[in-house]
Chains A and B, each alone.
Chain A
Amino acid sequence: MPLPVYYFISISAINILMSWALYLPYRVAHLHFLTIANMAISGYTAGWLVMSLHVPFWIALLIGFALGGVMGFLISFLIGDAPTFAVVIVGFTFIYITRTVIENTKAVGGTLGMFGLPSIGGNPVFHRWAILIILFAMLVIFGFLIHRFDHSRLGRAASTTFMDKDLASSLGIDIKKMGMLLQTASCIIAGGCGVLYGFIFKSFHLDFFTFHLVGIFMTIIFVGGYSTMWGSLLLAPILYGVPLLFPPAIASWRIVIYGVLLITVLVLKPEGFITRKFVHSIETVLSSKRKIRNM
C-alpha cells in the first residue's frame, strides 16, 4: 500500500474516533477537551513503556486505553455535572499542564520528542497493516456501541439532558452519572487513539497535541452534525483529505478554511449537515424498502 494512502486512511480513522470521543460527552452538552490531553498522556506513556521498558506494543496499547479511562473517570467525579464552560476550561488547562510536564520530562524526550518507535512485529509492512486493522476494529466496535447507545434509553436520557438539565433531573435522570459515563467512555477512546497516533508516525512530539487538534475535531463534529455519529464518520475523511489535494500554498491555510467553514455552518445550519431528522428519514426509507422486499 502506498504510504500517502496509508497515512490518509489511518489519520482519517483517528479523526473519526476522536470526533466520536468529543461527540459522546457533547450528548450532554459537554465539550470535553480533556480527550486531547489524554491522547498525549496515554501516547507518551505507551511510547515510554515500549522504548524504555521494552513492553510489547499490544500491552502498551491496552495500558493506553486503561490510563485514558482511569483519568477520565477520576476527573469526571468532579466535572460530571459541571456547566459546559467549566468542562471546556478544565480540558484546556489539562492540555497546558500536560504539555508543560512532557516538555520538562527528559525520559520522554522533553521538547525534542520521542523518535524511533519500533515497528509492530519488527516489520514495517506488518506494522502498517496492524495499525489499520486495529483502527478499523476500533471504528467498528466503538461505532456499534455508540449506535446502540444512541438508540437506547440511555441515549434518550442523554438527549433530554442536552435539551434541558432541569427537565432531565425531574424525570429522574442522574445527570452526574450520565456525564461521568460519557466522559469516561470518551477518554478511553482518546487514550487508545493517542497511542496509535504516535505509532502511525513512529514518534511522539508535542506539536502533535496542540490546539490545532481542538479546532480540527470541533470543526468535524459541528460541521458534520453534532446530533448524530454519522456526521463525523462522513466529514472526517473529507475535511482531512480535501486540503491534501490543494496546492501547498492554499493547503497551509487549512485551519482558516476550517474556521470559516465552522462559522458558516453554525450561522446557516446550526445542527450541521447530518441531522437526526436526516438520519431518521434515511432509516425510514431503508426500513420501508426492506419491508417491501420481505413482502
Chain B
Amino acid sequence: MQVFLAQVLNGLSLGSIYILLVTGFNLLLLVAMIIHFSYPQVVVFSMYIAWVAMKYTGGGPVIGVLAAVGAAILMNVFCAPLFQKVMKKRGEVDINSTMVLSMGIGMIITDVLSHSFNNGFPISFEGLLSGHETIFRLGLISLQSGQVAALGIGIVAVSGFFVLLYKTRAGRAFRAIAEDPNGAKLVGLPILRTSLAGYALTGLLGGVSAILLAMLFGSASPGLGEQVAHKVLAVSIIAGLGNLVGGLVVGLALGVLEALVQGYVSGSWSNSIAFVIMLVVILIRPKGLFGIKL
C-alpha cells in the first residue's frame, strides 16, 4: 500500500508537468493552428539555458527561472514567423507541414544540446533547483521539494491559464480564434497579434515547465525532449487534439500510470508498458477519448 501511495504521489507531480506541457501544446494548436511537436524540446532547451545561466553567473534559482522562462518565450516567438510562413505558402492551414517543420526544429535542438552543452553528457541541477530536499517522510512514502513544487506550481499555473482563457478579454480572443478564425477576423480581432501572444504565453508555460522538470528530475539530457515530446503528443491525441479539459485528465492519468508501472515493474520494461497502453488507446480511438476540438 505504501508503494502504491508513494507512486501515486510521484505520478501526480509528473502528471502536473504533463498537464502544463499539453496545455501549452493545445493552445498553440488552437490559436496558432500548428502542431508544435518539438515544444517539449524547446522546454528541455530552456532547462539547459537555466543550467548555463546558473553555472556561469554563479546566480541562484531566480537567475535560473528567469533564464528558462526568457529562453522558452524567445524560442517560441522566434519560431513563429517560420510557422506563419509555411502556412502562408501552402495557402491554407496545414497541420502536417507545421508538424514536419517543428520536427526539423526538434532535430536541431537535440543535436545542438548533444554537441554544445556539457560535452553531450546529462546535466544535473544543484541547490534549490535540484528539488531533492525531503519535506516529509513516512515509511516508503517521501515527499520531496521538487514533487511539491511540481504539483503546487503546476496546479496554480494551469488554474491561472484557465482563468485567463475563460475570464478575460484576451482569453475570449484566444477562444474566438480557436472556434472560428474567419469569424474572429470579421469582428476585428487582430489574428497575428493574438497568435503571437499565444506563442509568448506557451513560451511562458514552457519556461515554468522547464523549471518544474528540473526540480522533479534534478537532471536533463539531450534525448529527454524527444521522449517528452512523444508523450505530450500522445496525451494530446488520446485526450482529443485541442481538447484542453481532456488534456488535464489524460495528462494526470498518464503521470500516475507511468509512476505506478515504474513502481511495480522492474527495469526499462516500465516505459514500454506505458507506451503499449498509450498505443492501444490511440489505435482503438485515434480521434481521442474526449473528442477533437479543432
Task: Name the contact of B286 in the complex, choosing from A82, A101, A214 (C-beta under 8 A).
Answer: A82
Q: A101 to chain B: which residues have CB within 8 Å? A: 272
Say whether B96 faces chain A, with CB atoms less than 8 Å apart.
Answer: yes
* Contact of A262 with B233 in the complex, beta carbons under 8 Å: no
In this complex, which of B37, B104, B108 has the most chain A Cβ atoms within 10 angstroms of its Cβ? B104
- For B100, list chain A residues within 8 Å (CB): 31, 218, 222, 262, 266
Q: Given A79-B286, A93-B278, A270-B89 in contact, is the A255-B107 Cβ separation under 8 Å?
A: yes
> Would you give the 0/1 interface string for B43-57, flagging 1 where the beta carbon is closer than 8 Å to chain A?
000000000000000
- Bound form: Cα–Cα A86–B100 in Å: 14
CB distance from B279 to the nearest CB of A (A): 5
User: Contacts of A83 on B, CB cut-off 8 Å?
Assistant: 286-287
Q: Is the CB of A94 within 8 A of B279?
A: yes
- List residues of chain B with CB within 8 A of the CB of A78: 283-284, 286
Given known A-B contacts A101-B272, A263-B101, A270 and B86 have beta carbons under 8 A apart: yes
SS class of chain A's interface: helix, strand, loop or mixed?
helix
Contact in complex: B115, A253 (CB < 8 Å): yes
Residues in chain A near residue B286, CB distance under 8 A: 78-79, 82-83, 86
Chain A interface size, under 10 / 10 to 19 / 20 to 34 / 35 or more: 35 or more
Rounded to whole Å, the gap between the CB of A283 and the closest CB of chain B is 26
B170 within 8 A of A: no
CB distance from A279 to the nearest CB of B (A): 20
Which of B3-11, B141-149, B254-262, B263-271 lies at the interface?
Answer: B263-271
Q: Which residues of B contact A89 (CB under 8 A)?
A: 230, 233-234, 237, 282
Q: How many residues of B contact A (CB 8 A)?
A: 43
Q: Which of A251-266 contact B (CB under 8 A)?
A: 252-253, 255-256, 258-260, 262-263, 266
Q: Is A13's beta carbon under 8 Å from chain B? A: no
Q: Are A96 and B105 in contact (CB under 8 A)?
A: no
- The one of B37, B112, B237, B272 in contact with A96, judged by C-beta atoms closer than 8 angstroms, is B272
- Chain A residues near B101 (CB-CB < 8 A): 262-263, 266-267
Given known contacts A93-B234, A256-B112, is B269 in contact with A85 (CB within 8 Å)? no
Docked pose: A255 CA to B85 CA in angstroms: 23
Q: Which of B90-141 contact A (CB under 8 A)?
A: 90, 95-97, 99-101, 103-105, 107-108, 110-112, 115
Least CB distance from B45 to A in Å reads: 13
Q: Answer whether residue A181 sits at the interface, using C-beta atoms and an 8 A cutoff.
A: no
**Residue A100, interface by CB 8 Å:** yes
Closest to A81 in B: B286
Query: Which residues between 60 and 98 of chain A lie within 8 Å of chain B, taking CB atoms?
Result: 75, 78-79, 82-86, 88-90, 92-94, 96-97
Assess the B276–A97 pair: CB atoms within 8 A. Answer: yes
Minimum CB distance partner of B236 in chain A: A85
Partner of B282, one of A90, A222, A253: A90
A103 at the interface (CB under 8 A from B): yes
The residues of B that contact A86 with a CB separation of less than 8 Å are 237, 282, 286
Which 7 residue pairs across A and B have the least CB separation, nearest first?
A100-B272, A259-B108, A259-B107, A262-B104, A86-B286, A255-B111, A82-B286
